[in-house]
Structure 1
Amino acid sequence: MAFEKTHFSGSRLNYRTPCTSREGHLCNIFGDIHLWNEFFWPAGFQLKELSPGRLSLVKVRDVYDPLVKRVWKDASTLLHHLLTHHRCVSSVDLDIDLMEDHHELICDALCKSPNLRKLKLRLRRYATSEAHSFAATLPHLNQLRDLELSHVDLDRLSLETLSNFLANTRSLTTLIMTDLNIESEDAVVVVQGLKRNATITTLSVNRSLVSLESSQCGMTFSNYIRWNKTLRTLSVTSRSLKSFTDLRPIIGALSYNNTLFELNLIGLLLDMQNKQLITDMLIQNRTLRSFRMVDSLGAGCPFHRHSNVKPEVRAVGNESCLLSLWLVALTENKTLKELHLNLSRIIEPADYSSLFKALARNTSLQKVTLQTMRKDDMTQICRALQDTGVPERFFVIEPHELDTVAELPGCNELTSTSVACCSPLESGPLHSAVYLLPTCSHVKLLRLRMAAETLNSNLSSFIAQYIANTTTLRELDLIFDHRPWPLHTLNQETECPQRTLVKALSNNKTIRRLSIEGLYFDHTETQMLVGMVHSSRTLCQLSLFPCSHISATELLQKLSQNISSNYTLLDINVYRCWENCSDLFAVEEVARRNSSLVTRAADFVMGTKFKYCAVAAELLQCSPGLVAKVQELALIDENEAALRVKKSLKSFSDLDDFMRLAGVVKCSVTCHRLDDGKKQLVDLNRDCWLHIRQYIKLGDIQDCI
């Protein structure tokens, strides 16, 4: 397969090239990633740079075409070489399609990989051969730090191998088994391995490991949590709504554990007794810094008002029992800094105000995130948040609908909102919302969903005016249900609404994420939309799903042309026209390239002074994606992140700093004096040098071989 022609460009790939990576320098393979991806992408994978100078094979989509057997073979062969010969490859996603006929080849490569740090494996039930091959590799993964197992069907022997690996590993710090279903009598084998582990700091499991259906498993897991000294983050998830989860093995043990900092309970059905256990734990625990309980069963549960509540807790105030539990917990706990709750599943709407005031009085809490609340409660919630006096500590996530859009201007705490209209006969709230939006500078995310026939010239004009003039909106979703009109009946009048929207989008300079679904774009509108995408220096995420295959095909073809000149887009999702897969590949590769550059640039801003990271920072200095990445890494706001980017670029503005970072000199620039007395490089003052720097980029200077 050496020098095999790639699928789209027809270029030749020398896949046997050795690894050349070293500290501060990229492996030569980084210059040919797009060629490697011409083999991986048809199989549903993509090589990405998720951390500077390190390559990851990432699953990007599912492949359903049975004719791609050959591409899986090619991909597995390439992966084998990458893992065995390239120390710059540190992370791999594997699935049943890639493993099915090639598990021995791939598992052999896993054993030989010199620098594999992260592995994600997703199989399916009854893939026993693949599961056995994988289990056999575990003792050889001496450098693995992160392991995620999903739908891997492990028998008793394989579970014992996994258990021994967990007990003996000296490198593993993160283990995710959220989608690993194990029978209760076998789950104890895994927990026994966890008990003997001394390295894992982050653990994510499903309810099968904490189930009391097997008393031995539940007690073993409880002892693990009670005596463990390394675990910092624990997540327990349930995918089933059929039965309650008994948290006694976890919550009781946390009264003794003094090292766990973060606890996440996701999708669990909890009765009143378990809710009391949670609040009791929050009262007694002195080390937990973050607690997240979302999608838990709420007031509609028949067990909601359970009688098994401590009398002293029931006696607090005149609020409901559950509210009393939380009020006591929030009064007593002084160490929790972050709290993430789904309010509509925990307490009654009438109790929101009392809870918010208790949260506000707890001065140790720095961030309270509220999720998925009923639209009928939103106005009341916003008012209650304002009454706390510290609304800036509360965050309402996900776009929410209001019970009345007239309240939107007064709900400053609601930064994301959604307005839906099922038919033109019900368009009143939609028109009202669009009319009020210009007065709502607090709205950062807007989702408009409507029946396509609702979009007339009048409505589109109001929406377009808001889009063109807003300076605060960051995310916009436009969803149109049903086909707006038969393609053969299009005329100039019906073309106007979407053209008006496209023109407005072209004038907007603040939107970072844009999603349009269900519209038809004619040739002119397609060209306008493509021009907007190509020229935008603010749009980072884009999703385009026209209602017509013809429209989608033309859009994809034109979008792929000259898309490489865009260095802002980081994520692109477009209608998948498989007959134009080369265009689709080109578009997704640009997003992959830009994401790599952001990763490097952010690393430079955070303090890594490698030349290839500085080159990326200089190239992307005005990119909002870079600012957002620095925000994420440094946990700071947008303005401070922008200042950090600017400061980092100034760090190599002087001559000596520039030449040193470029690798031209080790310390400073010196020049031998000439007899003619003419000025040399070191004789330039700062202003002259900065003028020259306008025409010289760090990336223009070739590395020494």
Structure 2
Amino acid sequence: MALEKTHFSGSRLNYRTPCTSREGHLCNIFGDIHLWNEFFWPAGFQLKELSPGRLSLVKVRDVYDPLVKRVWKDASTLLHHLLTHHRCVSSVDLDIDLMEDHHELICDALCKSPNLRKLKLRLRRYPTSEAHSFAATLSHLNQLRDLELSRVDFDRLSLEALSNFLANTRSLTTLIMNDLNIESEDAVVVVQGLKRNATITTLSVNRSLVSPESSQCGMTFSDYIRWNKTLRTLSVTSRSLKSFTDLRPIIGALSYNNTLFELNLIGLLLDIQNKQLITDMLIQNRTLRSFRMVDSLGAGCPFHRHSNVKPEVRAVGNESCLLSLWLVALTENKTLKELHLNLSRIIKPADYSSLFKALARNTSLQKVTLQTMRKDDMTQICRALQDTGVPERFFVIKPHELDTVAELPGCNELISTSVACCSPLESGPLHSAVYLPPTCSHVKLLRLRMAAEALNSNLSSFIAQYIANTTTLRELDLIFDHNWPWPLHTLNQETECPQRTLVKALSNNKTIRRLSIEGHYFDETETQMLVGMVHSSRTLCQLSLFPCSHISATELLQKLSQNISSNYTLLDINVYRCWENCSDLFAVEEVARRNSSLVTRAADFVMGTRYKYCAVAAELLQCSPGLVAKVQELALIDENEAALRVKKSLKSFSELDDFMRLAGVVKCSVTCHRLDDGKKQLVNLNRDCWLHIRQYIKLGDIQD
């Protein structure tokens, strides 16, 4: 295939390059990922390094431009070469757009891939005949470990092929089918394959596989759970508010299963009888280590707002009688370590003390998350936590849209708050918000939403003072609402000054990790100030910028893309998509992709992998908060301990022999041949001299 020049840089890609990856060494393709992505990105995909030394083709956005079809042929051809010739490619996302018209090419590549470990499919409206042949390729994926079917339309013949694959695979460990909507009589085919499977440890399904106990599918799934000895994590999800889910097939089987460690029930509508079954199960179960139950009605989706909800479903709103059952379950269960619940509809403010006392008596629980708390309950929650003396074991999560400013001084457990002001006449809460947080060092997330015209010099000065001086704030959302039409061209100095004050404050802040600004209008000077802050920041990891006008967004994107490559801290950038400036947008997103790859490698080094390319990344990002956060995630430790681990890992190659060995210069230690003139050599330097020289030498300076 004769590929044209890349879409943005005009370079030519030598896509036929063979795979050169080997133990401890990256494939040569890693040096040209940005060129490969110039072909994949216009089609909505991006090559990413999600694990060190391994490439994944990831779906990053939907494509609505029909003209983009001209790039799908190039993208599918490149993907075919990657899958068939590069063992460093281990994960692929596929959707109907990429597969359409290139079905045979992609299926052939999947069958020939030497190292495909993960496959995610989004194939809604896929032609039946092509779905049959694609399902047939599953039997050739002998090394596949993770399979996710999202919005896939399979008929019975395709489901039978899937069932046969599940029954015979010797590699698959994770199966996700949350969006696989099939009828009960067809679902039983999939469950029969699961019953014969001996490798899956993590399974996620939707409610279509959990039918009433009297149906064949329900009974088959119940038998699968009852006798299975390999499954460790089970998740059941639903997005329907129209009917209840009957969990009897699962709950009844769990009394016989002694190998399942984690159970997640997400988005399910459960009647009181099913919830009683759950509490009874928790009292008796001795194997579960983690339990999560968050239903649709309690996850920010109040049922009274949905007209299509049946009356009997609305009737479950008052379930206070269940609280006593939960208290008994929490007291008697001695094996759970993690618990995630939404109890907002069954608990009253006066009951929080009893709840936390029951949790305190449970010595096995290490982490408890209570979701969707009511604003009026926060004071009682914080007081109950303090009275029981176990707040460090619990993480109370609530939507940060709740205005809890008044509760902040008395609730150290509140780490986030939100304030909204719809008009200049209602700015009182905003003033209260910017007065209070400086005295509340425990606040980590602040969300301010205001009418644009409410931002005057006085208010912006207080907000700016807080932003510039805070040493604890990690996340900041600034949202400006406008009453359209808004005369942007009539901006005077008074409306410009407040926003400029905010930008200056952001430039002085050294703690914010995530920043989101929406609905703003910055003039050219303010835009340049904001861009300069982003380019030079060594603490900002996540950035979202959505100006109120297309013109402002275009100017911002153009300036942001310039010199953005000098930033090695940003890991996630979301900006207004100006498609006429797609080359600028691509440049910005590629920098985030590059930085994320470096964090992945660096964290792997900190965790113990001693490859040179990982050490190079760790040395480059040693001050990156993103690296510390990644180590926290991998090691399950706090921020301070993670920072110490990073520092300790860098010291591991500070000495001469360690440095040269990791750089690949020597195998064991540095030795030098004796010189006739008797001059000093490298090994003759004392430790202090070497460490002084070491300040000017980086691992990345030494070529392989």
**Common fold by TM > 0.5:** yes
Structure 2 length normalisation: TM-score? 0.96
**Residues 673 and 473 of structure 1: is their aligned pair in 2 closer, same or farther, counting only changes over 3 Å?**
same
Structure 1 length normalisation: TM-score? 0.96
**Residues 399 and 379 of structure 1: is their aligned pair in 2 closer, same or farther, counting only changes over 3 Å?**
same
Structure 2 Cα separation of the partners of residues 547 and 76 of structure 1: 37
**Residues 415 and 66 of structure 1: is their aligned pair in 2 closer, same or farther, counting only changes over 3 Å?**
same
Partner of 1:550: 551
Q: Give structure 1 regions of 4+ aligned residues with deviation exceeding 6 angstroms.
A: 298-319
- Segments of structure 1 that go 5 or more residues without pairing to the other structure are none
1:302 deviates by: 14
Structure 1 Cα separation of the partners of residues 550 and 209 of structure 2: 47
**Residues 402 and 12 of structure 1: is their aligned pair in 2 closer, same or farther, counting only changes over 3 Å?**
closer
Comparing 425-434 and 157-166, the one that deviates more: 425-434
- Segments of structure 2 that go 5 or more residues without pairing to the other structure are none
1:127 deviates by: 3.7
**Residues 297 and 552 of structure 1: is their aligned pair in 2 closer, same or farther, counting only changes over 3 Å?**
closer
1:383 deviates by: 1.9
Conserved? CA contact 1:118–1:145, under 8 Å: yes
SS of the residue corresponding to residue 498 of structure 1 reads helix
1:374 deviates by: 1.9
1:295 deviates by: 2.4
**Residues 372 and 93 of structure 1: is their aligned pair in 2 closer, same or farther, counting only changes over 3 Å?**
same
Conserved? CA contact 1:298–1:304, under 8 Å: no
1:275 deviates by: 0.6
Q: Residues 659-670 of structure 1: matches in 2 within 5 Å?
A: 659-670=660-671
Structure 2 Cα separation of the partners of residues 657 and 624 of structure 1: 26
Structure 2 Cα separation of the partners of residues 499 and 94 of structure 1: 44
**Residues 596 and 18 of structure 1: is their aligned pair in 2 closer, same or farther, counting only changes over 3 Å?**
same
1:485 deviates by: 4.2
Comparing 398-407 and 127-136, the one that deviates more: 398-407
1:360 deviates by: 1.5
Matching of residue 143 in structure 1 with residue 148 in structure 2: no
1:398 deviates by: 4.4
1:384-416 deviation digits (Å, cap 9, x = unpaired): 222221111111224435666322111111111
Conserved? CA contact 1:184–1:214, under 8 Å: no
1:14-64 deviation digits (Å, cap 9, x = unpaired): 111110100100000000000000000000000000000000000000000
**Residues 605 and 662 of structure 1: is their aligned pair in 2 closer, same or farther, counting only changes over 3 Å?**
same
1:638-668 deviation digits (Å, cap 9, x = unpaired): 0000000000000000110000000010000
1:54-96 deviation digits (Å, cap 9, x = unpaired): 0000000000000111111110110011000100000000111
Conserved? CA contact 1:375–1:400, under 8 Å: no
SS of the residue corresponding to residue 344 of structure 1 reads coil
Structure 2 Cα separation of the partners of residues 142 and 126 of structure 1: 24
1:568 deviates by: 0.4
**Residues 22 and 46 of structure 1: is their aligned pair in 2 closer, same or farther, counting only changes over 3 Å?**
same
SS of the residue corresponding to residue 249 of structure 2 reads helix
1:313 deviates by: 24
1:126-173 deviation digits (Å, cap 9, x = unpaired): 542442232011000000000000111111111010001001000000
SS of the residue corresponding to residue 149 of structure 1 reads strand
Comparing 410-419 and 583-592, the one that deviates more: 410-419
SS of the residue corresponding to residue 191 of structure 2 reads helix
**Residues 242 and 402 of structure 1: is their aligned pair in 2 closer, same or farther, counting only changes over 3 Å?**
closer
What is the count of residue pairs matched by the alignment?
703
1:104 deviates by: 1.4
Comparing 316-325 and 337-346, the one that deviates more: 316-325
1:3 deviates by: 5.4
1:315-367 deviation digits (Å, cap 9, x = unpaired): 99999531111111111100000011112144344422211211111111111
Structure 1 Cα separation of the partners of residues 412 and 318 of structure 2: 30
Partner of 1:252: 252
SS of the residue corresponding to residue 544 of structure 1 reads strand
Conserved? CA contact 1:313–1:328, under 8 Å: no
1:310 deviates by: 27
**Residues 299 and 175 of structure 1: is their aligned pair in 2 closer, same or farther, counting only changes over 3 Å?**
closer
Conserved? CA contact 1:379–1:402, under 8 Å: no
Conserved? CA contact 2:242–2:310, under 8 Å: no
Structure 1 Cα separation of the partners of residues 332 and 254 of structure 2: 16
1:581-636 deviation digits (Å, cap 9, x = unpaired): 00000000000000000000000000000000000000000000000000000000
Partner of 1:121: 121
Partner of 2:395: 395
Q: Residues 452-601 of structure 1: matches in 2 within 5 Å?
A: 452-482=452-482, 485-601=486-602
Conserved? CA contact 1:184–1:213, under 8 Å: no
1:227-261 deviation digits (Å, cap 9, x = unpaired): 11111110000010100011101111111111111
1:407-444 deviation digits (Å, cap 9, x = unpaired): 21111111111112222222222211111010111111
Comparing 316-325 and 49-58, the one that deviates more: 316-325
1:274-325 deviation digits (Å, cap 9, x = unpaired): 0100001101110101111112557999999999999999999999531111
**Residues 605 and 417 of structure 1: is their aligned pair in 2 closer, same or farther, counting only changes over 3 Å?**
same
Structure 1 Cα separation of the partners of residues 34 and 147 of structure 2: 27
Structure 2 Cα separation of the partners of residues 310 and 539 of structure 1: 46
Comparing 322-331 and 507-516, the one that deviates more: 322-331
Conserved? CA contact 2:403–2:417, under 8 Å: no
**Residues 8 and 683 of structure 1: is their aligned pair in 2 closer, same or farther, counting only changes over 3 Å?**
same
Structure 2 Cα separation of the partners of residues 650 and 58 of structure 1: 35
1:458 deviates by: 1.2
Conserved? CA contact 2:272–2:319, under 8 Å: no
Structure 2 Cα separation of the partners of residues 22 and 416 of structure 1: 46
Comparing 374-383 and 101-110, the one that deviates more: 374-383
Conserved? CA contact 1:21–1:27, under 8 Å: yes
**Residues 301 and 658 of structure 1: is their aligned pair in 2 closer, same or farther, counting only changes over 3 Å?**
closer
Partner of 1:100: 100
**Residues 80 and 330 of structure 1: is their aligned pair in 2 closer, same or farther, counting only changes over 3 Å?**
same
Conserved? CA contact 2:210–2:249, under 8 Å: yes
Conserved? CA contact 1:202–1:232, under 8 Å: yes
**Residues 404 and 669 of structure 1: is their aligned pair in 2 closer, same or farther, counting only changes over 3 Å?**
closer
**Residues 87 and 301 of structure 1: is their aligned pair in 2 closer, same or farther, counting only changes over 3 Å?**
closer
**Residues 429 and 215 of structure 1: is their aligned pair in 2 closer, same or farther, counting only changes over 3 Å?**
same
**Residues 619 and 348 of structure 1: is their aligned pair in 2 closer, same or farther, counting only changes over 3 Å?**
same
Conserved? CA contact 1:36–1:47, under 8 Å: yes
**Residues 309 and 464 of structure 1: is their aligned pair in 2 closer, same or farther, counting only changes over 3 Å?**
closer
Partner of 1:73: 73
Conserved? CA contact 2:242–2:308, under 8 Å: no
Comparing 75-84 and 378-387, the one that deviates more: 378-387
Conserved? CA contact 1:518–1:547, under 8 Å: yes
**Residues 314 and 42 of structure 1: is their aligned pair in 2 closer, same or farther, counting only changes over 3 Å?**
closer
Conserved? CA contact 2:330–2:362, under 8 Å: yes
Q: State the Cα RMSD in Å.
A: 3.8
Structure 2 Cα separation of the partners of residues 465 and 242 of structure 1: 49
Structure 1 Cα separation of the partners of residues 508 and 643 of structure 2: 23
1:497 deviates by: 1.3
Conserved? CA contact 2:298–2:342, under 8 Å: no
1:697 deviates by: 0.5
**Residues 107 and 307 of structure 1: is their aligned pair in 2 closer, same or farther, counting only changes over 3 Å?**
closer
1:100-121 deviation digits (Å, cap 9, x = unpaired): 1111111110010000000000
Structure 1 Cα separation of the partners of residues 114 and 135 of structure 2: 19
SS of the residue corresponding to residue 57 of structure 1 reads strand
Comparing 329-338 and 484-493, the one that deviates more: 484-493
**Residues 15 and 2 of structure 1: is their aligned pair in 2 closer, same or farther, counting only changes over 3 Å?**
farther
